[in-house]
Structure formats: C-alpha cells, structure tokens
Amino acid sequence: MSPPHLLPNSNTDYANPEPRSDFNLPQLGQAGDNVITPAQLYRIGVQIMDQLRDEGAILDDPLIEDYINNLGHELSSHSDNPTLHFRYFVLNDPAINSITLPGGFIGVYSGLFLDSDNEDELAGVMAHETAHVTQNHIARSLADRKSRSLLNIATMLGAILVAANTGDPYTAMGTVAAAQASIIQHQINFTRAEEAEADRVGIQTLARAGFPPQGMIDFFKKMQRDDALNGYNQIPEFLLDHPLDRIRMAELENRALSMHVPPRPDSRDYAIMKARLRVLESNNLDKTLQFFQAEIASTHGWNREAMRYGLALTYMSTNHVTAAIKIMQQLRDKYDDVVAFRISLASAQMAAGETAAAVATYQRAMQLFPDSRALTLSYARDLIEANQTRRAIGLLLPLSLQATSDPGALRLIAHAYDKEGDSADSHYYMGEYYFNVGLPAAAADQLRIALATPGIDNMQRQRYQARLDRLQAWGRANHQSLVTRNGPGS
C-alpha cells in the first residue's frame, strides 16, 4: 500500500483565506507562517492528539466520533477556508469547555456537549472554535511573540512529555490544555481580540451552514448566568478560556439580528448521541437510570425515544441485558433507518452471549448501511471481544485499503492481531496507524519492532522491510527524520 501524503503542504497559504464576498469580514493580520509553518503546527497537533488518545482522554466511541465530525464538517465546509484540515473530537471531561489545538484539531468536552440544550448551541461553540482555525490564531499568537515562539513550542511539547508520565487522563488533558492556553492567551487584550474575531467569523459560518446564530448567543448567555449564580470560585471553564464581556455579547446580538436564518429542528442524532454520551460518561449509573426514567415519563416525541435508548444503554451497563435487548428491539423495529439502534441491539445480544443473533443483527445492518464507518468499527470490536479475530480483520481490511486509510480501522486490526498472539503483524498495523495519523517516526519504530520479532517467516520479513524502505524513501522526499518516535520527524 503506497503511503498517502497526509501532512499538509507547507506551501499552502493557510493564513490568507480568500474572504467570502457576501460577508467580507475584516482580518486582524496575516502574520504567523514565517514563525511556524502549517505542517509544523499539524505535527504538534498530531503529537498532542496521539498522547491524549494513549492516555484515554479522547472518547473512543465510533458513533459519537462520527456524529461530532459530521456536525463539525457541516460547519467547516461553510467556513472561510473549507480546504483546511479539520478534525473534531470529544474529550472525556465533565468540564464545560472546548479547545482548539494546533493543526485544526477541535475538541468539545463531554460536559459541554451534555450542557447544551439543543444542537444549535453545540454547533455555535464548534463554529467559534472552527473560526480560530480559519483565522490562524495559534500561528498568529506565536508571531506576536516571535522571540518566544520556540519557547512556546517547547512548552507545548514539554506538556506532552509530562502527560506521558501520568496515568490519569484528566491530568494529561489538563496539562496539555494549560500549555495550549499559555500559548494563545499570553495577554488578555490580545485574547479578547481573537475571541471577538472568532465570534464574528463563527456566527457567519453558522448562518451559512443553516444554523440559527441565536444558538451561539444562547450558550454564551447561559455561561454568563452560571458565572453570576456560582460566584468567582466556580466560574465555568469556558469563560476562563473564552472570556466574554458586554461589548462582545452586544456585537454578537446585533449581528444575529441582521441574519435571517429560519429555525431548524435538532437532528435525531443529536438527541441519540447526547443520551449515549450521558451513559458513557456517567459515574453514578443508578442516578443515570433515574434520570432516564424521569425523562421518559415527562417527554414526548423523538426526545422520549432517545431517552428510551439511553435507558437501554444504562441497563446494558448495569448488566440488565435482557431488559436492554427488549427496548432495543422495539426501537429497531419502529425506526429501521437508525443505525445506532441496530448497533446497540447487536452489542446487547453479544453481551448476553447470543452471538449468532448479534451477528445476524450486524449482518442485516451492514446490508442496509454498507457505508457506515461506526457500524463497521462497532461490529469488528464486538467480533474481537467474541474471539472472532479473523472475521474482524476481514471486515476491517477494506477500510484500511482505501486511498486514505481509516486510522480507527488500522488500530483495531493491530488489536485483533495482538489478541490472537501475532505480535509482529500487530506492530506492522500499528505502524500503518501511526503513519496515517501523521507520526512517521513512530511508524518506523513499529516496523523495526516487527522485524525484530522472533519467529517471523520470510514472507513477513520481506513485507515489513519493503514497507520500512518505502517509509524511509517517503521521509527523505519529505525531508523528515524517521529515527525515533520523539525525534525530529515526530
């Protein structure tokens, strides 16, 4: 498989997006690329993402991953520069906050997702963060302190190393978040200017994507109300990282008045994923069970069905699998076009030991939703848990052979080989994973480990060496060192 060129082209002018003529927003300045290139920013972002993922700080759930990325790309495709790299993710953290990392990686904290009252509010926050990317704020922040730019980068990378030595994902995420904040928020006036620009650009992006701008305003107002009610010691983290003032809010409201975007209902996926996230992030399942039972008794329509879905997931998490299967079957039969219901039904059947029924449910879903990434990954995970690793690998290989391989599929293939005791091929596919997420030095390390694995046959040795040779040729062509994972090419 020839390695795709995933790293951004450093000649791309990310700092100078062509403004849309219908909005023609003013720019604060175009500095930044002479201090740190887009490719360098991307590599820093990739390293942070890899570390957060290793520490368990990023929510690893295919359904929620797909939802947050689909919503994000619905926004970024209507941004001032839709050709930039954007990757959206959910962080395992109850704080009400969001973050933009170097290289276009945008994180929504699980607490913020759950605190949103509707999809417009969630989209409003994501549009604001998307604007930080399109306006090149991190690179421009580095340019503002050119003499300190290398120190700032070292601070960021140092935070990664600190995070690597902690087993607590919240600590790891907080360390990296603090380092990122130290870069882009070195002086409050400059930060306010950036935040105001992100407001202006973000609210226009919302409108273009068909989301009422009021969603952004409503969420910001809610944060201000929480601030006023809770007092200084309990200021929402969102306000600490995104300081608001009356002038900014007034400007936002004035802009919203000039935009005529019709109301839109929440997508069905929003309610489903919010219910799913509430269960995944719960630290008290008894209270979560009570929450869903109360909501089912007081809500109607689609929201009630989403609450029933959450109840079934809670039953699964508390080992009441039979009750979960019953609800999931009812939801599947009533809404045969919702892939989440089919995935969760199959997972419940697998948990109950009904492997044949689970496989049948998955197979029927694959016929109906052949292009669903979340379905394929969820099916493979359950097969691996059921020790059907070869079947899982066969299911995942098509995703790994696409022009742009799916990193999640590659990581699962590596896990499947590891579970069946084939450590060499496990390292090989972890190498493919690392290369596809933009860590070529880590990829080379994995291939070297595979080559050094005792007992590999001649065919494996030739395959691993050929891949390492191609990777090294790619490194030379792209002027990257592949010495070690934490070396110059990382």
Q: pLDDT tens for the chain, 490 residues: list them.
A: 333 222 222 232 323 333 322 323 233 334 444 556 788 788 888 888 888 888 889 999 999 999 999 999 999 999 999 999 999 999 999 989 898 888 899 999 999 999 999 999 999 999 999 999 998 877 776 665 554 544 455 455 555 545 544 545 455 555 555 555 444 444 333 367 788 888 999 999 999 999 999 999 999 888 877 655 554 445 455 545 555 667 787 888 888 888 889 999 999 999 999 999 999 999 999 999 999 999 999 999 999 999 999 999 999 999 999 999 999 999 999 999 999 999 999 999 999 999 999 999 999 999 999 999 999 999 999 999 999 999 999 999 988 887 567 899 999 999 999 999 999 999 999 999 999 998 999 999 999 999 999 999 999 999 999 999 999 999 888 877 676 544 333 3
CATH superfamily of the 268-477 domain = Tetratricopeptide repeat domain (1.25.40.10)
Q: Output b/e per residue, 24-63; b: 16+ Cβ within 10 A.
A: eeeeeeebbbebbbbbbbbbbbbbbbbbbbebebbbbbbb
Task: Give the Å distances, CA to CA, from 342 to 78, 398, 460, 481.
Answer: 32, 22, 38, 45
Residue 55 is predicted with a pLDDT of 81
Residue 243 amino acid letter: P
- Distance, in Å, from the CA atom of 439 to the CA atom of 470, rounded to the nearest integer, reads 15
Residue 192 is predicted with a pLDDT of 75
| Residues 439, 482 contacting (CB under 8 angstroms) | no
- Distance, in Å, from the CA atom of 217 to the CA atom of 128, rounded to the nearest integer, reads 11
Domain with CATH 1.25.40.10 in the chain: 268-477
- Distance, in Å, from the CA atom of 148 to the CA atom of 144, rounded to the nearest integer, reads 9
pTM over 0.95: no
SS (H, E, C) the chain: CCCCCCCCCCCCCCCCCCCCCCCCCCCCCCCCCCCCCHHHHHHHHHHHHHHHHHCCCECCCHHHHHHHHHHHHHHHCCCCCCCCCCEEEEECCCCCCEEEECCCEEEEEHHHHHHCCCHHHHHHHHHHHHHHHHCCHHHHHHHHCHHHHHHHHHHHHHHHHHHHCCCCHHHHHHHHHHHHHHHHCCCHHHHHHHHHHHHHHHHHHHHHCCCCCHHHHHHHHHHHHHHHHHCHHHCCHHHHHCCCCHHHHHHHHHHHHCCCCCCCCCCHHHHHHHHHHHHHCCCCHHHHHHHHHHHHHHCCHHHHHHHHHHHHHHHHHCCCHHHHHHHHHHHHHHCCCCHHHHHHHHHHHHHCCCHHHHHHHHHHHHHHCCCCHHHHHHHHHHHHHCCCHHHHHHHHHHHHCCCCCCHHHHHHHHHHHHHCCCHHHHHHHHHHHHHHHCCHHHHHHHHHHHHCCCCCCHHHHHHHHHHHHHHHHHHHHCCCCCCCCCCCCC
Residue 18 is predicted with a pLDDT of 34
